Amino acid sequence: MEKHVRQSIEKVAVVKYNAFDNMGGQLSFVLALLNQTDSGILLNGMHSREGCYMYVKEIKDGKSEKVLSEEEKSALEKAMKQ
């Protein structure tokens, strides 16, 4: 049971931002979903006039193998502080 609790999502943070300079309203976002060991995902939803694009980056022990944007770093840091 303890193993399941450690793996469950406990830390959540959202950062809203403008993905493109000509778009207002901060319709883009990064959602960080982490467990006790700071592992989980970053879900990045980028809104444009053509549509919304979703990207997922895996996080393991608070780190990503992929380069993170400033917004992704911010969401990750906020979630890990919980």
DSSP annotation string for 8-36: S--EEEEEEE-SSTT--S--EEEEEEE-T
Query: Residue 44 and residue 8: Cα distance in Å, rounded?
Result: 20
Mean pLDDT across the stretch 11-23?
88
Higher pLDDT, 16 or 26: 16
44, 70 in Cβ contact below 8 A? no
Average pLDDT across the chain, whole number: 92
Percent of the chain exceeding pLDDT 90 equals 74
Residues linked to residue 47 through DSSP beta bridges, in sequence order: 52
What does the pLDDT read at residue 23? 64
Residue 72 φ then ψ, to 5°: -65, -40
Mean pLDDT across the stretch 48-70?
95
The owner of tokens 């979703």 is 54
